[in-house]
Structure 1
Amino acid sequence: MSARHRRLLTSTVALLGAGVMVTACTGNTPEASSSGGGGNNAASSNDDTGDTVTIGFSAPAADHGWMAQITAAARAEADGYDDVDLVVAEGTNDVSAQIAQVETFINDGVDAIVLLPFDGAALTPIALEAMQAGIPVINVDREFDDPDAARVTILGDNYGMGVSAGQYVCSQLSDKPDAVVAEVAGIDSLPLTQERSQGFSDALSDCGLDVDNRVAAEFTVESGEEVTANLLQAAPQIDAIWNHDDDQGIGVLAAITNAGRDEFFMVGGAGSANAMRSIQAGDSVLQATVIYPASQAADGVRLARLLAQGKALSDLIDVEVPRQITLSAPVVTADNVDQYIDSAFES
């Protein structure tokens, strides 16, 4: 079994846990646990109001749609519980400021911390301090350097996202063995970008294709437009483009329109509502997008509540909350967009 397929198998197993979590973080009684679960979404004892828990939440600045939805979804999830007091720190891209926020949570003695670090490596030491102080940390999206820095890690499937995009491109270009494929990546220094690119490359190699032209942006509209303009000048003929992020994709599409290019199709990333509306309308080269869930922090709030109240997932036999959950990365096209658009974020 290849390394890539081992990784996909791991993601699939983790996804089973994610599905359980989303459908029913409920029931902590022996009767609920032994009944097998998974057959319905009926409320159970975990939905009942328990001891009030204080959860600290910190994430980067909401400087684009996906990140804004991360915080909005976390707030909405907390509002659904009478026994959750969510303390939301101001979003920041300043590592020192985010470290100070976590220090404040520790000093205030919160019951749990949900943390989407601007830089996972830089936030690892302070997360370790929180764990050592007996405060469970739920690490969202960008991993810490040390697994002991988090009680639970919730991740989108970045590698799987690249694989999904690559497999879709392969399916559309099966009759073009010499097709030219381009890639507009995100921030190249981030492991998540590297994983997305690796998954994309691995999937393309399975159908005999590779990435012929690649540029990296910064997950912003402006950077997306700038690097795509350069890409289009360097590549006079393209058959497919994968853009890692639908927020920067607004700029990517603007550059494509300005260049008057339409000989290729494009696959987006993250799954924004505006991208899905364009897919529905068929009004641009954008033909599909790959979901990167903006629900991760909301799931983190739900798990933080369970951990602080000493509960577990009802649909699992295990009496402990899992240590890692990886969410799925499905491809959205005109054929299935109606299933996803209502929960999509606005860029």
Structure 2
Amino acid sequence: MKTKTIIAVTTAAVTLGGAAFAESHGGAMKIGITQNNVGVDSYQTTYEKAFIEAAEGNDMVETIVLDAGGDVARQIAQMEDLIQQDVDAIIIWPTNGEAVIPAVRKAHQAGIPVIVTNSNIAEQGFDFVKSFSGPDNITQGARSAEIMCDKFKEMGIEDEAQVVHITGQPGYTTAIERAKGFEDRLPEVCPNVTVVDTQPGDWNREKSQQVMEAFLVKYDDIDGVYAGDDNMGVGALNAAKAAGRDGIIFVGATNFAVGYEAMAAGDYWGSIYQSPVDDAKAALQTAVDVLSGEEVPFLNYFDTPKITQDNMGDFTKPVF
């Protein structure tokens, strides 16, 4: 079984590890990163900015920062380019958890440690990965189910509520895991709640609004919406508002600024708090630890707590 832990990120640790590497290898760590799709949402944009800032703040680290633009073939080509550049480590935010495995294997065979960030690759590729750094997406989905169930119980509709589910990009590990966490946990805590339909929103607010518009036409009774992130959740909320459908409980995962604002307005019930800054720093820290020869657990999770209208005052508004 692969081990896991919760990690905290400190600049001092990054600098110390980089210094140890430089002393033994005669130079700074050369770390390449290929990201999923920086332009698709503000989470990934903020992640990239935080990663670059963390790397620039450490003289012992040199980085090559690439973006696949959501294109699997482009990401595979970027992996091959990083291998040719003989980087010391590669960080990959996979566009597709299965399709990138051959490229990850190629890096492994070239002796380059691979760190997967944010969204893991499929299990059959685990042998080629040194460590995963990011959120526990299954736990996030499960916590979202608990948030929704608790609200239904408070409303007294836990024995009759009907829910629709908007997932992220098909084939994307985060989308698969958050959906699994929600779908496995909801029957455990609210066995009589029914998920009547599930459709992908592709992490896109406009597409999710269209998906919700179709749900509203198809189903006269919708009590709750679970979306794989707040960007999609707010898209669904916008559709419900336009249709004049009140009283629906909206729950997401990864609390965006728009989700936080909708919660403050009383329109959106809850989500999971996740920081792209922590995500980026954790990925860089993991790569530095690996190159410094430290024992690194395969699963390096950072905590992502529940946030609802009831406790949102304990959290700062997301910057993305």
**TM-score bucket of the superposed structures, by smaller chain:** 0.7 to 0.9
CA drift of 1:61 comes to 2.2
- Select 1:340's aligned residue among 309, 315, 319: 315
Whether 1:186 aligns to 2:168 is yes
Distance 1:267 1:252 in 2: 10
Which residue does the alignment assign to 1:303? 286
Which residue does the alignment assign to 2:25? none
Normalized against structure 1, the TM-score is what? 0.80
Q: Deviations over 1:43-69 (max 9, x none)?
A: x95486862111101112221122222
Whether 1:65 aligns to 2:42 is yes
Give the direction of change, closer, same or farther, for the CA distance of 1:200–1:255 in structure 2 (3 Å limit).
Answer: same
CA drift of 1:196 comes to 2.0
Distance 2:84 2:173 in 1: 31
Secondary structure in 1 aligned to 2:9?
Answer: helix
Which residue does the alignment assign to 1:196? 178
Which residue does the alignment assign to 2:242? 258
Distance 1:92 1:146 in 2: 22
Secondary structure in 2 aligned to 1:86?
Answer: strand
The answer on whether the counterparts of 1:271 and 1:345 sit within 8 Å (CA) in structure 2 is no
**What pairs with 1:26-175 in structure 2 (closer than 5 Å)?**
26=13, 45-46=16-17, 51=22, 52-62=28-38, 63-140=40-117, 141-144=119-122, 145-174=124-153, 175=156
Normalized against structure 2, the TM-score is what? 0.86
Distance 2:313 2:283 in 1: 26
The one-letter amino acid of 1:330's match is P
Distance 2:6 2:217 in 1: 42
The answer on whether the counterparts of 1:156 and 1:293 sit within 8 Å (CA) in structure 2 is no
**What pairs with 1:244-283 in structure 2 (closer than 5 Å)?**
244-282=228-266
Q: Deviations over 1:66-100 (max 9, x none)?
A: 22223222212212212111111234222222112
The answer on whether the counterparts of 1:293 and 1:327 sit within 8 Å (CA) in structure 2 is no
The answer on whether the counterparts of 1:74 and 1:297 sit within 8 Å (CA) in structure 2 is yes
Secondary structure in 1 aligned to 2:47?
Answer: helix
The one-letter amino acid of 1:196's match is R
The answer on whether the counterparts of 2:17 and 2:292 sit within 8 Å (CA) in structure 1 is no
The answer on whether the counterparts of 1:130 and 1:136 sit within 8 Å (CA) in structure 2 is yes
Distance 1:173 1:210 in 2: 12
The root-mean-square deviation of aligned C-alpha atoms, in Å, is: 2.5
The answer on whether the counterparts of 2:286 and 2:296 sit within 8 Å (CA) in structure 1 is yes
CA drift of 1:307 comes to 2.0
Distance 1:191 1:304 in 2: 21
CA drift of 1:291 comes to 3.1
Q: Deviations over 1:180-229 (max 9, x none)?
A: 22222223443432332222222221222231233322111221111000
CA drift of 1:23 comes to 5.8
The one-letter amino acid of 1:87's match is I
Which residue does the alignment assign to 2:220? 236
Q: Deviations over 1:109-159 (max 9, x none)?
A: 111111112112221112112122221110121314311221111242222
The one-letter amino acid of 2:6's match is A
Secondary structure in 1 aligned to 2:62?
Answer: strand
User: Which blocks of at least 5 consecutive residues in structure 1 are unaligned?
Assistant: 1-9, 28-43, 313-319
Identity of aligned residues (%): 26
Distance 1:269 1:166 in 2: 10
The answer on whether the counterparts of 1:289 and 1:333 sit within 8 Å (CA) in structure 2 is yes
Whether 1:18 aligns to 2:28 is no
